[in-house]
Amino acid sequence: MRAEGDPPSAGGGSGSGSGNASLRSTASLIAAAGPPQQDHHLFHHHHLLHHHHHQEEEKDWEDGSSGHQSDAESHAEGTEPFPEHEKAAVIGIALPYPPPPEATDNTASNSDSAPTHRRPSWSRRFGRYWRGDLGSETGDSRADTGEPGSAASQEKAAEPEGKPESTVIAEEPIELPSDDWRQLSKVISVARSAQGNVSERRRSSHRVDEKKAIRPGVYFRSRRVRDGERDTSWLQQNKDPRQKWLSIIPLAGLFLGFCVAGVYIYLGYRSVPVNSYCLVYEDDFSAPHLNKDVWLQEVQVGGFGNGQFDETTADEENVFIKDHMLHIQPTLQDEYLMTHNATVNLLDRGTCTANTWADCVAVTNTTNGTVVNPVKSGRINTSRGANLRFGRVEVVAKLPQGDWLWPAIWLYPTNSEYGTWPASGEIDIAESRGNNWTYPLSGNDIISSTLHWGPTTSSDAWWRTYHKQKALHSTFSERFHTFGLEWNEKYLYTYLDSRLLQVLYHKFGTPFWELGSFAGLSLSTAGNIWWNGTIAAPFDQDFFLILDVAVGGTNNWFQDGLAGKPWADQSQFAKKQFWEARDQWYPTWQNPNGPAMQVKSVKMWQQKGYNGCGDNARPVG
């Protein structure tokens, strides 16, 4: 209900919308800012009455106790609770308080239950204007419209009889010209008291006297320290002479440690020989054919002591140069030679490079099941023009991919001065298998370096000088790598791509006869076969380089029963078994990488002091 002359409320039907908003915001700001000093106790009085209204069931009601206490406190503090007129300054604007209203019909109806002589609190004075905002702020949109069905009327009806009601104060609006209200709304900002907003204070369940005032604590105040006030007595104290050793001893130890480390680094550097070399041979395969003065294409069918299934040929389909690269590529044998009685006689052709009949002749007999070599491949060496004793070798190559392929880059003795294999040694720079990485014994993602040595074939002690190297996230069939060897009188090591990545390292410290513990074995030899050699024997003689791609074999390089191996090493029909399973393994050769070993370049250096390498020798990086 709105009295005449009141500014329009939030729910009024007429009036200016901006005036309503300005008036509501102004009244809300005044209520949120709290009462002036003179009305402080009246606010407490109203708060206590509101508190008693909600706590009636727990405490006995004493009429007027709160009001008298508030009056007594006001007089004790020397303030008048009921001045005729008051003014409150809000941001420099004086707001006049109207005099206490006379009792109306509404107030008279409640005079029995609540005193009317008290001044209304700030919240009561402006309740007409902030009550709508309060409802929206607290989420309670209920208003006492006086109608029987309103929420507030229902709450009043629910209160038990005999219970004193809250003090009812007549509401008196502030009458200002509309322009003043508009200007006032521009300069007043919302403020919240330390106890929260108005609704929070009205609904508080705590007593006023239970709220503790927050008193400012003692804080530190900085000040400037004058020169004469500083305490420097500690500078005048006499130091213990022994304290200096607390710094001298650690520094001396640190210096000594650096000196010792420097000596070790220097001695290690001096211990590595800086060798000078003479270039023996270099081939980048830019010519259309192999250099016959250096390269020998081996032509044999005997299996080279490993029972290999390939016939090494000099045919262009097996060894050729293409795109400035050497290709060594295995191919299938002529099917007619495999299925009919036939003979491959390299002696009649005059092409065999071996000295024995078994290495030069192969026969297919359909009656007893023997067959010629089921595959043809290539094997070349530098025995014609590039031999070295101590030196370096580097081969840049990409290895083949395909089941049961056996690529190798290795050195073999030129004259076998200490006897037949393995008495004169063998240096395998890099060997691998063409099977993919899932092969249990390592496929084309792993290479191995090995030294073969021993007085007899059965006593080969290769396992004492053997090591493997895995490709990093790839295989050796996917890209080119540098396979290298450095070899001198004191040590031998192989490396991959750089001398920093060593694969196998062996220092010539213990003689190989002692290293292999051959003295306690029953051997066909009379004694130490390397007695007349150096400590590096049998690796102190000339060797030549071999490049080949073998296929299969019966020497256990491919173990029986693994990865579906289609033949058995001990079977006399191993070659035939391999041929009959060609539908399984031959498709693995047909891949983008191919079954061929591709070689970009070959370099061989002779160490100074051997094989005519003298003053023209130079260090090689």
| 235 CB neighbour count, 10 Å cutoff | 6
pLDDT (0 to 100) of residue 401: 97
pLDDT in tens, 433-479: 999 999 999 999 999 999 999 999 999 999 999 999 999 889 999 99
| Average confidence score pLDDT of the chain | 76
> In a 3-state reduction of DSSP, which class is residue 276?
strand
449-460: b (≥16 Cβ within 10 Å) or e: bbbbbbbbeebb
First and final C-alpha spacing in the chain: 105
User: Rounded to an integer, what distance in angstroms lies between the CA atom of residue 427 and that of residue 72?
Assistant: 115
pLDDT in tens, 505-550: 999 999 999 999 998 776 666 789 999 999 999 999 999 999 999 9
- Residue in the block written with tokens 């001298």: 248
Q: Is residue 426 flagged as an active site residue?
A: yes
CB 9 within 8 A of CB 2: yes
Residue 398 pLDDT greater than 90, yes or no: yes
| Residue length of the chain | 621
Residue 376 neighbours by CB under 8 Å, 6+ apart? 310, 311, 312, 313, 315, 317, 318, 330, 331, 332, 333
pLDDT (0 to 100) of residue 73: 44
> In a 3-state reduction of DSSP, which class is residue 445?
coil
Residue 363 pLDDT greater than 50, yes or no: yes
Mean pLDDT of 189-196: 44
Residue 44 pLDDT greater than 50, yes or no: no
Catalytic residue among 431, 489, 514, 580: 431
Residue 233 pLDDT greater than 80, yes or no: no
Local confidence band at 142 (pLDDT 50, 70, 90 cut-offs): very low
CB 596 within 8 A of CB 383: no
Mean pLDDT of 314-341: 97
Q: Which pair of structure tokens corresponds to residue 491? A: 């040590």
User: Rounded to an integer, what distance in angstroms lies between the CA atom of residue 1 and that of residue 525?
Assistant: 130
pLDDT (0 to 100) of residue 245: 87
pLDDT in tens, 265-310: 998 887 776 789 999 999 999 999 999 999 999 999 999 999 999 9
Mean pLDDT of 157-182: 47
Residue 24 pLDDT greater than 70, yes or no: no
280-302+313-330+377-560+583-619 CATH fold:
Jelly Rolls (2.60.120)
3-state secondary structure 206-256: CCHHHCCCCCCCCCCCCCCCCHHHCCCHHHHCCCCHHHHHHHHHHHHHHHH
Residue 168 pLDDT greater than 80, yes or no: no
Decide: residue 17, CB within 10 A, 0-12 exposed, 13-18 middle, 19+ buried.
exposed
CB 33 within 8 A of CB 95: no
Q: What is the pTM of this model?
A: 0.61
User: Rounded to an integer, what distance in angstroms lies between the CA atom of residue 269 and that of residue 321?
Assistant: 42
Local confidence band at 223 (pLDDT 50, 70, 90 cut-offs): confident
User: Rounded to an integer, what distance in angstroms lies between the CA atom of residue 395 and that of residue 484?
Assistant: 6
Q: Where is pLDDT greater, at 20 or 479?
A: 479
Catalytic residue among 298, 426, 486, 489: 426
Q: Which pair of structure tokens corresponds to residue 508? A: 């010539």
**C-alpha to C-alpha distances, 185 to 14, 21, 96, 180, nearest whole angstrom:** 20, 9, 16, 9
Local confidence band at 49 (pLDDT 50, 70, 90 cut-offs): very low
Domain ranges of the chain: 17-210, 280-302+313-330+377-560+583-619
User: Rounded to an integer, what distance in angstroms lies between the CA atom of residue 416 and that of residue 584?
Assistant: 40
Residue 346: which of 391, 309, 299 has the closest Cα? 299
Residue 430 neighbours by CB under 8 Å, 6+ apart? 395, 399, 408, 409, 410, 447, 448, 449, 483, 494, 496, 503
**C-alpha to C-alpha distances, 105 to 101, 111, 170, 510, nearest whole angstrom:** 12, 10, 10, 125
